[in-house]
Structure 1
Amino acid sequence: MPGWLSHMDPHWVWLSLGVLLAAAEIVAPGFFLIWLGAAAIVTGVVAWIVPISVPLQLGIFAVLSFIVLYTARRWLKANPIASADPHLNQRAGRLVGEVLTVTRAIEDGRGRAKVGDGEWPVHGPDAAEGAKVRVVSADGGVLVVEPA
């Protein structure tokens, strides 16, 4: 154990560890480290109020970590976080419902349609160039269309 650490009161080590873990959650979000930070802070408060040995403190931290992680996981499973924009990084998914103009005739189920200032590959029933089609779904980078 480093010399500077052996001169510190254990509760300050736990409280510092808890704050560092909470800060690490901000830097590397994953909704995991915050719970370990909370367990460390509670362990620090317990060690501050009741002078106990370091091995017992480690046991308290381990038990608290298990309890808060298990409880948080169950709570998140029962109360999922709904996204305000589920298609945020799915450009093709955002196009569902849009009406597009066919730029290369859809033949044998394949063609191209104008999207913004570009063209996207489309799958759907045969349609002539210039026809209007509506996007019904996306399959990777290919839009599935139907006549509008």
Structure 2
Amino acid sequence: MLDDIDPGWLWMIGGVLLLIAEVLAPGVFLVFLGIAAIAAGLFTILFDLGLPAQLALFALYAVVAVTVGRRVYAHRNVDSSDPLLNDRVARLLGKVVIVVEAVDDRGGRVRVGDSEWSARGGPAAPGDQVRIIGIDGNCLKVEADRTLPPPA
């Protein structure tokens, strides 16, 4: 039965099945293989290629499709009304917090919401307000609030 079907159409059907599989189980990878299979099928139909040429063409198209796809997806910008939504630390910049343990250039602790964070900068005594001006790993860089202009 499969002997009666043009191999180009088999490539096309396989490509469409890969595209459907991508919709059912998204991972942004099968779509590129599906596109490569459809392209190989089109060239097989147009130029009546043998199996080794079909496989080589599919491999070439797969490499090209994955390479182009990775570049497109790697550089896509996602516009958001809250670009720092998943970056909790970056959201802290500019916030005014309360010193829990005296802060100086060697260290200290500040209260951020319901948790305490390591901090450097200041100098500030317990109970003082400081503004977060930077982040170094998991340590907040702070400066006494009285030395900074009011937050915008």
Mark yes or no: TM-score above 0.5: yes
Kindly report the root-mean-square deviation, in angstroms, between the aligned alpha carbons of the 2 structures: 3.1
Q: Does 1:97 align with 2:84?
A: no
Q: Could you tell me how far apart the structure 2 residues matched to 1:145 and 1:24 are? A: 51
Q: CA deviation at 1:127?
A: 0.4
Map of 1:140 onto structure 2:
137
Q: Give deviations 1:45-97, integer Å, cap 9, x for gaps.
A: 33345533222211221232333344445x539x8223446544432222111
Contiguous gaps of at least 5 residues in structure 2: 146-152
Which amino acid counterpart does residue 103 of structure 1 have in structure 2?
V
Q: How many residues align?
A: 142
Paired residue secondary structure (1:52)? coil
Q: State the TM-score, normalized to the length of structure 1.
A: 0.72
Which amino acid counterpart does residue 61 of structure 2 have in structure 1?
L
Match of 1:76 among 63, 72, 78: 72
Q: CA deviation at 1:123?
A: 1.3
Q: Could you tell me how far apart the structure 2 residues matched to 1:20 and 1:145 are? A: 56
Map of 2:109 onto structure 1:
112
Map of 1:67 onto structure 2:
64
Q: Does 1:40 align with 2:37?
A: yes
Identity %: 39
Q: Could you tell me how far apart the structure 2 residues matched to 1:142 and 1:24 are? A: 45
Q: Give deviations 1:96-115, integer Å, cap 9, x for gaps.
A: 11111112221453111111
Whether the aligned pair in 2 keeps the contact of 1:109 and 1:126 (CA below 8 Å) is no
Paired residue secondary structure (2:126)? coil
Q: State the TM-score, normalized to the length of structure 2.
A: 0.70
Q: Could you tell me how far apart the structure 1 residues matched to 2:10 and 2:44 are? A: 10
Q: Bigger CA drift: 123-132 or 100-109?
A: 100-109
Contiguous gaps of at least 5 residues in structure 1: none
